[in-house]
Chain A
């Protein structure tokens, strides 16, 4: 009897902690060390809420790095690049136009341009990979996506520093206007995609997901060149709050996941159509099986829905503090509810009626249109507290 129990232990192998790799332990040590480093470097400028948010972020990062191991390399590289940029700046904004490394790579505006270019190249590589015989073409897409995402995060971190260099009184976290939100959308969507790409081994979906990111990049460039959206402007009083640091990123996890689900839906519909018209189509046969597409769509919408719910709740708490009421039926709030209802409907169809396949793919695509209106349409066509963001 004792023998079988040991055998069972052997069969299940080492436990959770024993299965941690060297990288996992380095990560577990590195996250607190880096957190303390940030506290030492910037503690003077941080309020109590900032410290709490940092600690909360670090606490989330720990398990995240264990379940998405690529972050164990990605995070230090991004952090290192940002730190290098800060050293190059040396507290002088003017260095951004003088130092080689800043001018051509790490000043936020340069980094964002790199991000934009790399995302477009990644899209091209992924799409070419769909047609190419060789595997390395699509793999290049993955590599380029990682680089673009790294540049994007670096750009945001450096921009954060730049707002303080302009004037410590102006300094703010760069996720507070449309330009910055678009960068955030690009990098978060890309990161969610990179996770699913590895998890499901579905590289050939990359061209679809990166297409929506490239569309965002196109908007970003137009907004920057035509509207000078990249200019750093001081925050209006209502946005001057620690709530922004959690409300906005949470929302963009939702938006990113919804966008990803919609593009998987597009892939689903395209695959189905191609197989109907040309059963031997190479592209169609390279795309993942319907069950896999379906599953990614569900996972992604579930993730987005959970985070979108949290974001809406955080938004309500914030609204109560800044505008005097947790729900004003402001256009942005009403549209957040509409988005939420759209996906609540999707989840009910899927979970209670067991719907699968094309109808759900169509629903996800329409869901993205609704989401896009909530994100952009409201700012462009409807007025309200959110669009002005003003007192």
Chain B
């Protein structure tokens, strides 16, 4: 028994270890977290998958064996105890038992015994009468099914462990250890995966995942193993017709649903069903769960808009998961990473309330340059409102570990980027910049003592240079010019002056753009746009290279992530659990109680000695025993005698 308790506690401690290391991540993530040394230590001790390591299974096996042995040793005695009346008692043993009472009854023993049986029956006891040479013995018992409690609970442990073992990865691991199965770590299509990594179709227990784009089907699942996977073929094909995300009015997802069609040679014709979270599909012992979703290759029509004045926009198309040459630029490659139809974000309104707002579709892509550099982007399709004004959002980052930094490109009255692009184009046009610089300089110094031809030319060159610096490096670039040329004590002053002429020069360009749109009156809105545009241009520096991608149209294709499992042990485990629960209730709430009543002729009447015992000698038994004794005594018409 000490063994049982030690095993229970050992198992508890072992289970704790498994919860310390997050088991759901990849080997490379672990290496990044723990460093190569501890990664290796954890890997060898099996910390990433404690519950299927050898040592954990050994503890389980120990528990199984010892519970079984226990059961085999104790169950027969339990069953005997269940059946037995325990009528072979002696007067002495009753006298000295922990609970006993005695009294004298009027009637003779045999009749008294009958009356006692009536009373015992009223209290739910079964009873029987044995006649001895000089006495009559009434034995009574109640709640003997309690004894099944022990058998049920302990058998349940064995049953559950057995069922669990059937469903475990042990078979797959053994196949791997003995060299029959190889772990595949590359990202391949099912048809390219070597035979060595395929499980047989008859494999009885597995749990795998598969991603199915809309309009396609699968007849395999991928089972994760160590740092890779193996392939499980299925005897049927699962075709995904449609994937939906049902949403709450607030926009958060309420349910994920997949309409599927199951093709199986054993069926006369395919059938259709909807799989949702909490509503799996069951087919021939396989269960298909809604686990996940992803993009299934959404197709895009895009325009690359140049952020300079000397190139034309380029239209092209692509699809999520594709990687190809970036049409506008030789040597650059583009990878279409992802697409999201909805982007629900919390937004703080002007009144301070936070509301959920949908920013509309967005798409992610990566540009890879010949020099090895790469940047990731996330662009929104339609302008997003912020404080009453609308912006195209385009975020960028160096890699997946960084956050996106967003550029807010103001949308013009036609909700397009044209006005903004027009301004940027003009900033890159040397003739236009020179003209506007001239005007700005004339406005600034016209009529002052500095106003000489040489001075103007000098200033115009400075302004042209400032525009170029601003275009390529933002306000930091302007500051850099100041730092290069001006003594420290006057830098701030000159910087402010530079900003003023720069703004004046850019405003000239801006007016130009507006003129082509036919806008003549420049109002507060137009100036707000101008400030936003400068802010956006100021952000170019971190944004990367000279193109911004605009999403013109898309064809949304989703993919549903299914988990497909076969768990033949499941019903065994459920049966075991039911057994466990029934057993526990029998054990805790059915109290096995026995009463013995020894009757001996005494004068005209009968001397009675009653004793009792409860298997679970809790506090309840004592009062129960005395209440029974009181009632039985009264029922036999006697004054009770105190216990001896």
Q: Which residues from chain A sit less than 8 Å from chain B, CB to CB? A: 1, 4-5, 7-12, 15, 167, 169-170, 233-238, 240-241, 243, 291-292, 295, 298-299, 302-303, 305-306, 309-310, 313, 316-317, 320-327, 329, 331, 334-335, 337-338, 341-342, 344-345, 348-349, 351-353, 378, 382-384, 391
Contacts of B578 in A (CB 8 A): 313
Beta-carbon nearest neighbor of A317 in chain B: B574
B577 proximal to A (CB < 8 A): yes
A167 with B249, Cβ < 8 A, contacts A11-B635, A325-B567, A384-B24 known: yes
Q: Mark B547-570, 1 if CB is under 8 A from A, else 0.
A: 000000000000000010101001
Contact B114 A378 (CB under 8 A): no
Contact B115 A234 (CB under 8 A): no
Contact B118 A8 (CB under 8 A): yes
B546 proximal to A (CB < 8 A): no
CA A8 – CA B634 in complex, angstroms?
7
B594 CB to nearest chain A CB (Å): 18
Q: List 24 A-B contacts (CB under 8 A).
A: A1-B111, A1-B114, A7-B634, A7-B637, A9-B118, A10-B635, A11-B631, A169-B254, A234-B254, A236-B252, A243-B278, A291-B619, A302-B588, A320-B287, A325-B567, A326-B570, A329-B51, A337-B12, A341-B15, A342-B12, A352-B1, A353-B1, A378-B19, A391-B253
B274 CB to nearest chain A CB (Å): 14
B345 CB to nearest chain A CB (Å): 15
Contact B12 A321 (CB under 8 A): no
CA A169 – CA B585 in complex, angstroms?
39
B 290-340 contacts with A by CB, 8 A: 290-292
B435 CB to nearest chain A CB (Å): 57
A338 with B4, Cβ < 8 A, contacts A237-B256, A316-B577 known: no
B120 CB to nearest chain A CB (Å): 9
B537 proximal to A (CB < 8 A): no
CA A280 – CA B588 in complex, angstroms?
37
CA A309 – CA B565 in complex, angstroms?
25
Contact B256 A391 (CB under 8 A): yes
Contacts of B253 in A (CB 8 A): 236-237, 391
Contact A237 B635 (CB under 8 A): no
B 610-629 contacts with A by CB, 8 A: 616, 618-619
Beta-carbon nearest neighbor of B287 in chain A: A324
A98 CB to nearest chain B CB (Å): 19
Q: Mark B89-129, 1 if CB is under 8 A from A, else 0.
A: 00000000000000000110001101110110011000000
CB < 8 Å neighbour of A306 from B123, B280, B584: B584
Contacts of B11 in A (CB 8 A): 337, 341
B353 CB to nearest chain A CB (Å): 12
Contact A341 B12 (CB under 8 A): yes
Contacts of A167 in B (CB 8 A): 248-250
B59 CB to nearest chain A CB (Å): 11
Contact B278 A238 (CB under 8 A): yes
A348 with B567, Cβ < 8 A, contacts A4-B112, A170-B249 known: no
B 212-271 contacts with A by CB, 8 A: 248-250, 252-256
Given contacts A338-B12, A353-B1, A378-B19, 18 further A-B contacts (CB under 8 A): A4-B115, A4-B637, A5-B118, A236-B252, A237-B253, A237-B277, A310-B581, A313-B580, A321-B279, A321-B289, A322-B277, A322-B278, A324-B280, A341-B11, A348-B8, A351-B616, A384-B24, A391-B253
Contact A170 B22 (CB under 8 A): no
A238 with B567, Cβ < 8 A, contacts A11-B634, A324-B207, A342-B12 known: no
CA A10 – CA B115 in complex, angstroms?
12
CB < 8 Å neighbour of A309 from B567, B570, B581, B635: B581
Contacts of B497 in A (CB 8 A): none
Beta-carbon nearest neighbor of B250 in chain A: A234
Beta-carbon nearest neighbor of B561 in chain A: A391
Beta-carbon nearest neighbor of A341 in chain B: B12
Q: Mark B530-549, 1 if CB is under 8 A from A, else 0.
A: 00000000000000000000
B542 CB to nearest chain A CB (Å): 32
A324 with B573, Cβ < 8 A, contacts A298-B618, A313-B581 known: no
Contact B278 A241 (CB under 8 A): yes
CA A345 – CA B12 in complex, angstroms?
10
CA A235 – CA B112 in complex, angstroms?
67
Contact B584 A305 (CB under 8 A): yes
CA A238 – CA B253 in complex, angstroms?
11
Contact A348 B119 (CB under 8 A): no
CB < 8 Å neighbour of B255 from A240, A313, A337: A240
Most buried by A among B5, B24, B118, B278: B278
Contact A309 B580 (CB under 8 A): yes
Contacts of A353 in B (CB 8 A): 1, 5
Contact B616 A240 (CB under 8 A): no
Contact A344 B8 (CB under 8 A): yes
CA A278 – CA B115 in complex, angstroms?
53
Contact A326 B573 (CB under 8 A): yes
CB < 8 Å neighbour of A391 from B164, B291, B581, B584: B291
CA A12 – CA B630 in complex, angstroms?
10
Most buried by A among B50, B115, B291: B115
Contact B249 A169 (CB under 8 A): yes
Contact B164 A327 (CB under 8 A): yes
Contacts of B637 in A (CB 8 A): 4, 7
CA A140 – CA B30 in complex, angstroms?
57
B599 proximal to A (CB < 8 A): no
Q: Mark B371-388, 1 if CB is under 8 A from A, else 0.
A: 000000000000000000
Contact A8 B254 (CB under 8 A): no
Contacts of A291 in B (CB 8 A): 619
Contact A331 B107 (CB under 8 A): no
B81 proximal to A (CB < 8 A): no
B442 proximal to A (CB < 8 A): no
CA A352 – CA B253 in complex, angstroms?
51
A306 with B581, Cβ < 8 A, contacts A4-B111, A317-B574, A329-B51 known: yes
Most buried by B among A12, A299, A337: A12
CA A152 – CA B252 in complex, angstroms?
29
CA A344 – CA B11 in complex, angstroms?
12
Contacts of B115 in A (CB 8 A): 1, 4-5, 7-8
CB < 8 Å neighbour of B635 from A12, A169, A352: A12
Contacts of A324 in B (CB 8 A): 207, 280, 287, 289, 291, 563, 565
Contact B107 A1 (CB under 8 A): yes
Beta-carbon nearest neighbor of B168 in chain A: A327
- Ranked 9 nearest A-B pairs via Cβ: A8-B635, A11-B635, A324-B289, A324-B563, A11-B634, A4-B115, A341-B12, A302-B588, A313-B577
Contacts of B396 in A (CB 8 A): none
Contacts of B574 in A (CB 8 A): 313, 317, 326
Most buried by B among A8, A12, A331, A382: A8
Contacts of A383 in B (CB 8 A): 22, 24
B621 CB to nearest chain A CB (Å): 11
Contact A382 B19 (CB under 8 A): yes
B632 proximal to A (CB < 8 A): yes
CB < 8 Å neighbour of B119 from A11, A331, A345: A11
Q: Mark B585-600, 1 if CB is under 8 A from A, else 0.
A: 1001100000000000
Contact A12 B619 (CB under 8 A): no
Contact A4 B636 (CB under 8 A): yes
Contacts of A344 in B (CB 8 A): 8
CA A188 – CA B249 in complex, angstroms?
33
CB < 8 Å neighbour of B585 from A233, A306, A338: A306
B18 proximal to A (CB < 8 A): yes
Contacts of A331 in B (CB 8 A): 19
CA A241 – CA B637 in complex, angstroms?
61
A100 CB to nearest chain B CB (Å): 25
Contacts of A241 in B (CB 8 A): 278
Contact B635 A345 (CB under 8 A): no
Contact B618 A338 (CB under 8 A): no
B 74-89 contacts with A by CB, 8 A: none
Contact B1 A345 (CB under 8 A): no
B23 proximal to A (CB < 8 A): yes
Contacts of B61 in A (CB 8 A): none
